[in-house]
Amino acid sequence: MSNTKRQIFLGIETSCDDTAVALIDATEKSVLKHCIHQQVEHQSFGGVVPDLAFKGHSKHLPNLLNTLLRSACVDKDEIKGIGVTAGPGLAGGLLVGVMFAKGVSIALKKPLWAINHLQAHALVPRLCDDLEFPYLALLFSGGHCEFVVVYSATEFYLLGYGLDDAAGECLDKVGRRLGFSFPAGAAIEVAAKMGDPLSVPLPIPMRDKSLNFSFSGLKSAALRWINIEGEKKLSFEKKANLCASLQYAIGQGIQKKVENFFENLPQESHPRAAVFCGGVAANQYLKNMLEECFSQYNVRLFTPPPKFCTDNGMMVAWNAYEKYQAGIAPSMNFSIRARWPIGV
């Protein structure tokens, strides 16, 4: 395909601690180049420090974009539009990204779209697969739990949400107490493979009839178990058992909400597809649990590859394209929104 027919979009992501930029060819649904800088400075603190994140984005974003443009073999004139995460997230990081993107938009004379970080997560599976609207989306990350119906690139109906701690936060806090570096999700998944998921009696979170989520009780129970066993006395076997049991409890809690959704829904009203997205969706064990759950209702579950689950510039670029296709006008007249719901 000739370059003149390519629809190339630039995405800029700075909502938390990862600085990411990407160029995609929306016509081919291909990633031309993705560059990311992950700030390791936060590991010693066991979580993201907003001031450090702000400084990191300010330092690395300009060089990251220069590297992207040089290595992608894309002429600046080919870029059709730009997307930048404007929320939700840490205000300092969002401000760095938005102000930088506005400058790039002016310099390159390219249209700019403000992107909702959560919507970008929910839409990026369409970059990876042939996925048509409408579909269900289960979005789980370090800061968010969302159960959503995605009707279009601009219509999101919120079915349920997190009432307190997110699943990712639960994994990170427990992982930190076990001696794993932040973020701890990947280390917990590795350790869990050598553990027994039924060995530690952890509660299944929020087993009511609602579609909302709560993982604070599960987190507290896991931390209490560590205190009782003795944090410094834990063998690797006990750590592995706790990790396996924690994953199992989280998976059971999410499955319960899926079952609640389908419980009183006639078969003819079942959605044809669902997606599992956000950083927690990189966990293969949880993905397998949800695939089995949705298969009972003849619903296909789409989960993007791990690099599309964690924060990235590709999903932001794709969302800019989705807005362009939907006829949403670009604008420079927007501000950051540290709190920005995914839908109504």
At 174 the three-state DSSP class reads: helix
Averaged over 203-219, what is the pLDDT? 97
Tell me the per-residue pLDDT of 232-258, one tens digit each, with 9 for 90 and over: 899 999 999 999 999 999 999 999 999
pLDDT tens profile 303-329: 999 999 999 999 999 999 999 999 999
Q: How far is CA 323 from CA 65, 104, 136, 236, 313, in A?
A: 22, 19, 19, 48, 16
Residues contributing to the annotated binding site for substrate: 139-143, 172, 185, 189, 283
- CA-CA distance, 27 to 48, in Å (whole number)? 36
Residue 215 has pLDDT above 70, yes or no: yes
Among 89-93, 151-155, 190-194, 261-265, whose mean pLDDT is lowest? 261-265
Residue list for the binding site for Fe cation = 117, 121, 311
For residue 122, give the 3-state DSSP assignment. Answer: helix
Give the confidence band of 203 by pLDDT, cuts at 50, 70, 90.
very high
Query: Could you tell me the CA-to-CA distances from 29 to 41, 124, 164 in Å, in that order?
Result: 34, 11, 36
Each residue's pLDDT tens digit, 99-124: 999 999 999 999 999 999 999 999 99
pLDDT tops 90 at residue 50: no
Bridge partners of 87, per DSSP, are 116
Please, which pLDDT band fits residue 38 given cuts at 50, 70 and 90? confident
Q: What pLDDT is recorded for position 268? A: 80
What's residue 42's pLDDT? 61
d(CA 168, CA 283): 11
Confidence of residue 269 (pLDDT cuts 50, 70, 90): confident
Fold of the domain spanning 130-303 = Nucleotidyltransferase; domain 5 (3.30.420)
Q: Would you say residue 4 has pLDDT above 70?
A: no
Q: Please, which pLDDT band fits residue 267 given cuts at 50, 70 and 90?
A: confident
E strand map for the chain: 8-13, 18-25, 30-38, 79-87, 112-116, 135-140, 145-150, 156-161, 273-277, 300-302
pLDDT band at 213 (very low <50, low <70, confident <90, very high): very high
> pTM for the complete prediction?
0.95
Structure confidence at residue 1 as a pLDDT band (50, 70, 90): very low
Looking at the chain, which residues constitute the CATH 3.30.420.40 domain(s)?
3-124+311-325, 130-303
Q: What is the CATH number of domain 3-124+311-325?
A: 3.30.420.40
Q: pLDDT tens digits for 126-167? A: 999 999 999 999 999 989 999 999 999 999 999 999 999 999
- Binding site feature residues: 117, 121, 139-143, 172, 185, 189, 283, 311
Q: How confident is the model at residue 45 (pLDDT cuts 50, 70, 90)?
A: low
Residue 3 pLDDT exceeds 70: no
Mean of all residue pLDDT scores within the chain: 95
Residue showing tokens 């998944």: 189
Question: pLDDT-based confidence at 293, cuts 50/70/90?
Answer: very high
